[in-house]
Amino acid sequence: MRIEDVYIWDINARWLGITPYQLMENAGAGVARTIEEKFGKGLTVAVFSGTGNNGGDGFVAARHLSFENDVTLFLVGDEARIRSEEARHNWEILKRLDFVKIKVLKDSAYVKSLDLSAYDVIVDALLGAGTRGEPREPIRSAIEKINEYAGKTKIVSVDLPSGYPSQIRVKADFAVTFQWDKEEYEGFERVVVKIGYPKELYHLVGPGDAKFALRKRGEHKGQNGKLLIIGGSGDYYGAPYLASKGASYLVDLVYLAMPSEPAKRISDPDLILRPVEGKNFTKKHLEGVLALAEKADAVVIGPGIGLAEETKEFVRGFVRRCEKPMVIDADGIKAVAEDLSVLNGKTFVLTPHAGEFAVLFGVKPEGSLIEKAKVVKEKAGELDGVILLKGPYDIISDGKTWKYNRTGNRGMTTGGTGDVLAGLVGALLALGNEPLRAASVGAFLNGLAGDMVKEELGENFTALEVAKTVPYAVKWVMEF
């Protein structure tokens, strides 16, 4: 797991109702338990806490250790700077305790004069994984002071040695890190303790994933994604329009390539229409559409595109030659199902429902969530791409891991919500997300928008209402 995943899990845990207070309590208790298991009880312990959440874990550890040990807590910094509610809550508890000695060290002069020779254990809860660069004063002096006792006193860090990965870091005997080891951590001993994350968080898509996926990159037009959507046929203009509408709220520019007949029925100033001659896409349109794809960061192909033989040939030809990340949806899936070799070496997301999945692979995903996920993961691995299986719970896999999404409701069986989903996944690809995250977060946002519409209108609504609710879903995520 990566450090980024810690933030995602914390946000998603809160979404499930697991409070930051619970996680901090479990983390601090885990640190205290590990110290007593390794070194016994009746210890003289110094806990050095900063003003962030790592310091908050230290406050909790100090309280747990105080039951059978002699504890002094050194707060390095100003108590007015204790940032989070949960850290402040635990600081206020400590201040009410008579058997924990508290010393506030506001500047480095106080720190430099300390004598720590009487302590059996020093706990380092100064800085967490979110800090960048070399530590500043007075934390820097506290790290140097702790290091004077390296080799003489047991030094235990909370999550990671403060200052890591810079050269100014605590020389800990070991760190107590939480729930799982992090792939960025190396060069120091670690003990992993569980802090109450449920198994769901390995697989469930939530607002944490969405927050990271929706980060904007630039200040200028076009820097936050350009998406090409290819679809429509005969009289079918609704599907590609719905995909484009949903996407238009996430990226800067949406190009919509459509046959000129259905394109006549669209007049939306938020989209850049690129009509091609005729009623259907055929091989004669291939070069022109490939040239359009060159300008885009990602492509969605398939919504409403139809199943004319010449159109299926166009789709396969396009997929074989397009070098951009692609979402292949609806009739596009049926076209590539006839020759899956066109996907070799491509970056893509397929978005089948159960019936389309059976067309692609000859098997229908059935049984429990885990049984379905196993099939989706296996087939994604065979194709070396991402599959988003749409259903009451959407299941997403890249062949290595799998995720599931449980936003959405029965009202979303209405036609067109799958087109909105394809547009959202394409937009997230255009924003630079890897396909697994783009597909997972696209499913989450689509379902969330649908849930918001249901709250207002009940279970009878249209896909256009879902598309138009996307900005409200994004706002909810960013404020969560």
Side chain identity at 109, as an amino acid letter? A
Q: How many CA atoms are closer than 13 Å to the CA of 404, on its beta-carbon side?
A: 18
- Angle (CA) 371 380 2, round 5°: 90
Cβ neighbors of 158 (< 8 A, separation 6 or more) are: 27, 31, 54, 57, 58, 61, 123, 124, 125, 128, 175, 176
- Strand, coil or helix: 229: strand
For 224, 410, 411, 453, the CA distances from 414, given in Å and listed in that order, are: 30, 8, 6, 13
CA dihedral 401, 407, 413, 416 (to 10 degrees): -80
Across 336-348, average pLDDT: 98
Give the C-alpha separation, 301 to 257, whole Å: 10
Give the C-alpha separation, 331 to 311, whole Å: 10
Residue 283 has pLDDT above 80, yes or no: yes
Cα 303 to chain center, whole Å? 27
User: pLDDT tens across 34-87, in order?
Assistant: 999 999 999 999 999 999 999 999 999 999 999 999 999 999 999 999 989 999
Give the C-alpha separation, 295 to 225, whole Å: 10
Closest CA to 326 of 335, 220, 382: 335
Residue 465 has pLDDT above 90, yes or no: yes
Predicted local confidence at residue 126, as pLDDT: 98
Q: Does domain 3-201 have CATH number 3.20.20.70?
A: no
User: pLDDT tens across 387-437, in order?
Assistant: 999 999 999 999 999 999 999 999 999 999 999 999 999 999 999 999 999
Structure tokens at 419: 């087109």
Identify the helix (H) or strand (E) that includes residue 108. Answer: helix 108-112
Predicted local confidence at residue 218, as pLDDT: 75
Edge-first strand order for the sheet with 190-193 is 100-105, 70-76, 44-49, 121-125, 154-158, 174-178, 190-193
Q: How many CA atoms are closer than 13 Å to the CA of 352, on its beta-carbon side?
A: 24
Phi first, then psi: what are they for 322, rounded to 5°?
A: -75, 135
CATH 3.40.1190.20 residue ranges for the chain:
207-479
Instruction: Tell me the residue length of the chain.
Output: 480
Structure tokens at 125: 């809860």
Q: Domain 207-479 is of which CATH architecture?
A: 3-Layer(aba) Sandwich (3.40)
Give the C-alpha separation, 344 to 398, whole Å: 14
Predicted local confidence at residue 83, as pLDDT: 87
pTM > 0.85: yes or no: yes
Number of Cβ within a 10 Å radius of residue 39: 16
Spatial contact of 298 and 386, defined as CB atoms under 8 Å apart: no
Identify the helix (H) or strand (E) that includes residue 418. Answer: helix 417-430
Give the C-alpha separation, 14 to 29, whole Å: 19
Give the C-alpha separation, 79 to 129, whole Å: 21
Predicted local confidence at residue 131, as pLDDT: 87
Cβ neighbors of 200 (< 8 A, separation 6 or more) are: 16
Closest CA to 477 of 5, 14, 1: 14
Residue 20 has pLDDT above 80, yes or no: yes
Q: What is the mean pLDDT of the chain?
A: 97
- Model confidence at 3, in pLDDT bands (50, 70, 90)? confident
User: pLDDT tens across 176-199, in order?
Assistant: 999 999 999 999 999 999 999 999
Give the C-alpha separation, 16 to 178, whole Å: 19
Spatial contact of 209 and 411, defined as CB atoms under 8 Å apart: no
Side chain identity at 174, as an amino acid letter? F
Residue 236 has pLDDT above 80, yes or no: yes
- Model confidence at 27, in pLDDT bands (50, 70, 90)? very high
Residue 362 has pLDDT above 80, yes or no: yes
User: pLDDT tens across 379-401, in order?
Assistant: 999 999 999 999 999 999 999 99
Q: Which residues pair with 299 in a beta bridge?
A: 228, 326
Structure tokens at 202: 């390995």
Predicted local confidence at residue 132, as pLDDT: 87
Structure tokens at 3: 């450090």
Task: Give the whole-number percent of the chain exceeding pLDDT 70.
Answer: 100
Across 278-303, average pLDDT: 98
Identify the helix (H) or strand (E) that includes residue 402. Answer: strand 402-405
Side chain identity at 231, as an amino acid letter? G
Across 294-309, average pLDDT: 98
CATH 3.40.50.10260 residue ranges for the chain:
3-201
